[in-house]
A and B are shown apart, each in its own frame.
Chain A
Amino acid sequence: MDRSSHPRSRRFAPVVAVAAAAALTLAGCSSSSGGKKSEEGAADASAGKATTPRMTVALVTHQAPGDTFWDTVRKGAEAAAAKDNIKLIYSADPNAGNQANLIQNAIDQKVDGIAVTLAKPDALKGVIGKAEKSGIPVVGLNSGLSDWKNLNLLEFFGQDESVAGEAFGKKLNEVGAKKVLCVMQEQGNVGLTQRCDGVAKTFDGKVDPQNVNGTDMPSVKSTITAKLKQDPSIDYVVTLGAPFALTAVQSVGDAGSKAKVATFDLNKDLIKSIKAGDIQFAVDQQPYLQGYLAVDGLWLYKNNGNYSGGGEQPVLTGPAFVDKSNVDKIGEFAAKGTR
């Protein structure tokens, strides 16, 4: 990992490591397939640059560290910031109290606008009120569809998790699923629970929820395998995040099950699996769009007084389905890590 974080401690290890790497490169240990060399350089989406005065926007989310989904949200926000001549301050904390402090921090910095996710709206109520009192416009994104209006936010960009779940359930009916396992990677997460509940609402068959330990992939794999063994009648595994779908495919193989896999959310490895037919479809809430629109929305408000959704209706970014029929087109963008 970061060898510079412990340089004086081990005089030899880093030297040996670098020397070994160098020696191995010279000795012809390079890979003839895959790797960085095969990756094609691809520029991010760009639509010129605004000439409006420089403004500062804070994006404060409830991201857990190292989650691919939130990385895409942030990329969308950064793209909008680059285009709109905005300085973007990104911060995140899954703990609601800490997230409130980060919003306070943004208020103290006197930013020109704040975009927040409302995973735990009650905890953020006070601090969002303060922002509004000091004249800072606040927009919502991702989570908080049922609360953004109560908190007097300007506008909201996201996916209704229940609506997405319901669309998912209908799709499962179309593909003829009978019994579905809904895999939740984080016990007690409101949005994830809404997804599974939404699926159960429209799906004609039975939905079995299953909690797994999302921070430990081998454990996720074993647990899904165990569940498929326990109930052989499960014919569809539904995961609520892209990395877990890829693991679920392995579990299905391990359990010798005939179940198919479908998922919420996308990433670039998932695209390959959809192409290969390992994963049937994914419902995409377009996280890039959420980040982009939230920042762009603040810019539009400041420079032209616009409200997306008229301040009455949320702007929905999902659910969009990705399956074999449209995966090639979306795959191009996913390869850049922006879908």
Chain B
Amino acid sequence: MSMTQQAAPAVDTPPAPGPKQSDGRTRQRPLALRLLARPEVGVFLGAVAVLVFFLFAAPPVRDGSSMANILYQSSTIGIMALPVALLMIGGEFDLSAGVAVITSALTASMLSYQLTMNVWVGVIVALLVSLAIGAFNGWLLVKTGLPSFLVTLGTFLILQGVNLAITKLVTGNVATDDISDMDGFGQAQKLFASTFTVGGVNVKITVVWWLAFAALATWVLLRTKYGNWIFAVGGNKDSARAVGVPVTFTKISLFMLVGFGAWFVGMHQLFSFNTVQSGEGVGQELIYIAAAVIGGCLLTGGYGSAIGPVFGAFMFGMVQQGIVYAGWNPDWFKAFLGVMLLGAVLINLWVQRTATRR
């Protein structure tokens, strides 16, 4: 705990009479403060603040279908922010996550198209390729001991070039061909990119997947041995290894999890837009990382949650679309986004500091 608590008993004067019976060391801190100290609570309050702000500033946000749109935007960020956050808790991060999404979509699209196969073949091969990219990142990191910044920066550049070059080589263009008339497209679209109606509002299926993945990730992180391993390798790799945590396995599997996320989002993009431009995805990795950091994950590892990044991604989607719903001057768009995000992070930080200071 904090310094003040340890310093308290050193004072010679007898404890003041009144309700305070113990010396304070074993006293339960108030529930509110204990809650505030959780990694996801700061961002939750930040998200609520942003939501309330836009409910006032932008009347269209109060409409159900607008909220569905905001949630859709948040989900495409959030599905990737989840594995990125787990990886970050495990002490690493992945700069190749943005272009890896496009790599996966390109693989599925080109494979099915060029070989004229059922699109599910492409989908499955794309999954294997995405997992392999994750495994490569993790393996190289563990084998060489290089920082993840360097390893994944390398993969980021490789994938960027490969995306472009292979697409051009295979299709003769820099975008893939339209696969919407091929066998299996309808089924895959149902799974990755369909829409359903709740009370007259059209909701994208990615929102459901996002929340389901978040629930699963929370359970894994808090209730399973693997979850403990993630915290352990992110906190201190060497002492984790000393107490028998399989560090290599944990790190590689975390990178593969990011690969899985990239595959999922890539499939969503492919099946909702039918074709993929090979230059897309650059810069998205920073948005995923930002959503995880806003969500309370430390860049240094060992601390964070799976539910925090859900609010982090929501905040991103809310601010990005809220500015449009408010009808503000679009020239200021990115500046608004930056100010709102910085503000949210500062609220987050302040809440945590206040809470842990008791």
Contact = CB atoms under 8 A, between A and B. Distances in A.
Interface of A: 1-3, 5-6, 9-10, 13-14, 16-17, 20-21, 24-25, 29-39, 64-68, 70-71, 184, 187, 209-211, 213, 215-219, 221-223, 225-227, 229-231, 243, 246-247, 250, 254-256, 267, 269, 272, 337
Contact of A211 (B103, B172, B330): B330
Contacts of A243: 175, 275, 277
B254 to A, nearest CB: 16
Contacts of A230: 58, 60, 324-327
Contact of A6 (B133, B277, B330): B133
Contact of A216 (B69, B124, B128, B284): B284
B268 interface: yes
Interface in B46-75: 58, 60, 63, 65-66, 69-70, 72-73
Contacts of B159: 1
Contacts of A187: 331, 333-334
A219 B115 contact: no
B299 interface: no
27 contacts: A6-B132, A9-B140, A10-B132, A10-B136, A24-B124, A31-B112, A31-B182, A33-B181, A33-B183, A34-B178, A34-B181, A36-B177, A38-B116, A39-B177, A66-B167, A70-B174, A184-B330, A187-B333, A210-B330, A216-B281, A218-B72, A218-B269, A222-B69, A226-B70, A226-B321, A226-B324, A229-B63
B113, B269, B324 — most chain A CB neighbours (10 Å)? B324
A254 B69 contact: yes
Given A210-B324, A218-B76, A337-B173, A31 B184 contact: yes
Given A221-B272, A222-B70, A254-B69, 10 more contacts: A1-B129, A3-B129, A17-B125, A21-B111, A24-B117, A33-B183, A34-B178, A65-B278, A222-B321, A226-B325
Contact of B283 (A215, A226, A227, A272): A215
Contacts of A25: 115, 117, 121
Contacts of A250: 272-273
A9, A25, A33 — most chain B CB neighbours (10 Å)? A9
B121 A21 contact: yes
A17 B128 contact: yes
Contact of B166 (A2, A65, A215): A2
3 cross-chain pairs, A with B, having the tightest CB-CB distances, nearest first: A66-B279, A35-B116, A13-B132
B346 interface: no
A37 to B, nearest CB: 4
B73 A33 contact: no
A254 B72 CA distance: 11
Nearest to B73: A222
Interface string B166-191: 11100011110111111110000000
Contacts of A210: 324, 330
B162 interface: yes
A20 B69 contact: no
A17 B330 CA distance: 45
Nearest to A69: B174
B163 A269 contact: no
Contacts of B333: 187, 211
Given A30-B117, A37-B116, A231-B327, A67 B140 contact: no
A34 B273 contact: no
A37 B132 CA distance: 29
Contact of A256 (B65, B76, B132, B183): B65
Contacts of B175: 66, 68, 71, 243, 267
A10 B132 CA distance: 7
Contacts of A10: 132, 135-136, 139
Nearest to A68: B175
B174 A68 contact: yes
Nearest to B162: A2
B118 interface: yes
A71 B279 contact: no
A198 to B, nearest CB: 17
